[in-house]
Amino acid sequence: LIAQQQWDIVQDVRKHKKRTPKQMEEPNMFSGLVYCADCKKTMVLHRAHTMKASYNNFKCYTYNKRGKDVCSAHYLKEQDLVKIVLDDLRRVTHFARQKELNAAIPVKETRLEKLKASAANVEAFIEKAKRYTDIPELTPELLRLFIERIEIGERSERYSRTAEQDIRIVYRDVGVMDSVEPVESDEQEIEELTEQAESGQKTA
């Protein structure tokens, strides 16, 4: 299974690896993974040999093609996205290895039937996480091994570079992961549902 996953990932990376001008450096590692949270179209990476790498940025495809009356820019620097995704990937894989993954799944998603159906997926994610105890940098292979898609929201104050911006990372097998600090009133519900799901798995 792991060998097949690796093969699929390599093929996916090759599919999204576009030829870049000689002046450019690496191809866009996020190709095919980053989407606008509002119009759901892809986010386009803007860069040029005349522009410093620190200015490389993502903008909504719809905004570029049809203008601000249809969608907004959802501007985000590439280097900021790399840091956000790398930090979150380290966080999620760490808690997966500690088997605290269920506590990070959003409470609204932790219903008994969903837990039963996703138990195998959670275990698959944990097994992948065990193989990566140290993640020094992002690579196209790692992105596609763990992440299904990334959705970029607009800033709370449009055109402000300092306003809060929502980034939604959807992981393969387990979906969107919440903060690992669950609200106290919901913790008991999660534990009860998890125990019921595990009990159901044993008797199935």
Between 135 and 12, the more confident residue is 135
> What is the spatial order of strands in the sheet that 147-155 belongs to?
34-36, 147-155, 165-171, 175-176
Rounded to an integer, the average pLDDT of 114-133 is: 79
Asked whether residue 51 carries a pLDDT value surpassing 50, the answer given is yes
What is the rounded distance in angstroms from the CA atom of residue 34 to the CA atom of residue 127?
A: 25
Between 15 and 137, the more confident residue is 137
Residues 145-155: b if buried by 16+ CB within 10 A, e if exposed:
bbbeebbbebb
- Do residues 87 and 95 make contact, with C-beta atoms less than 8 angstroms apart? no
Between 49 and 76, the more confident residue is 76
- Do residues 140 and 17 make contact, with C-beta atoms less than 8 angstroms apart? yes
Asked whether residue 114 carries a pLDDT value surpassing 60, the answer given is no
pLDDT on residue 4: 53
- Do residues 144 and 9 make contact, with C-beta atoms less than 8 angstroms apart? yes
